[in-house]
Amino acid sequence: MKRLAAGLCLLLAACVHAPAPMPPLPLPEPPPPGEPAGLIGLSQADLRGFFGTPSFVRKESGAELWRYDGAKCQAFFFFYPKGDAKVVRHVETVPRGGAIAADSNCLDVLRGRAPAS
């Protein structure tokens, strides 16, 4: 009787259909290459001097991400080790810039300057 019950359970389990796998989501287009002038290679102290205290910091595997939040944009600074320090190696903004991943108007606003016209 136990064997019959176990067999019925296995038979029922074989009838259950697994849900169809979800199709992969398309990745967004990569940002345009290039970096804003004057920010690549800055130390953390230098960046803090220009932009103040970041809104968010994430540390992972020796790298760091600093995010600055504005009313209409956000800037992301990616730090990687260089010698004993960490320096800015990449900058992006949301929304993105037209020619590179960082919008200069966003960076100007976050630095407290009037946007370039």
What CATH number does residue 55 fall under?
A: 3.30.1450
Q: Which tens digit of pLDDT belongs to each residue from 49-68?
A: 999 999 999 999 999 999 99
Contacts of residue 36, defined as CB under 8 A and 6 or more positions apart, other chains included, come to 91, 97, 100, 102, 104, 107
Strands (E), 2-100: 56-60, 63-69, 74-82, 85-94
Our count of domains for the chain comes to 1
Kindly state whether residue 17 falls inside one of the protein's structural domains: no
Q: Report whether pLDDT(17) > 70.
A: no
Residue 77's beta-bridge partner residues? 66, 91
Check residue 82 and give its pLDDT. Answer: 94
Kindly state whether residue 112 falls inside one of the protein's structural domains: yes
Q: Report whether pLDDT(86) > 90.
A: yes
Kindly state whether residue 19 falls inside one of the protein's structural domains: no
Kindly state whether residue 103 falls inside one of the protein's structural domains: yes
Q: Count the neighbouring beta carbons within 10 Å of the beta carbon of residue 23.
A: 6
Find the mean pLDDT for residues 27-54. Answer: 91
Q: Report whether pLDDT(116) > 60.
A: no
Kindly state whether residue 27 falls inside one of the protein's structural domains: no
In this structure, of 1-15, 54-68, 102-116, the range with the lowest mean pLDDT score is 1-15
Kindly state whether residue 113 falls inside one of the protein's structural domains: yes
Query: Across all residues in the chain, what is the average pLDDT?
Result: 86
Element (H, E) at 106: helix 104-110
Find the mean pLDDT for residues 108-114. Answer: 84
Q: Can you say whether the dihedral through the CA atoms of 51, 40, 29, 105 is positive or negative?
A: positive
Kindly state whether residue 29 falls inside one of the protein's structural domains: no
54-69: b (≥16 Cβ within 10 Å) or e: beeeeeeeeebbbebe
What percent helix, strand, coil does the chain show, rounded to 5? 25, 25, 50
**pLDDT level of residue 85 (50, 70, 90 thresholds):** very high
What is the domain extent for residue 62?
Answer: 35-117
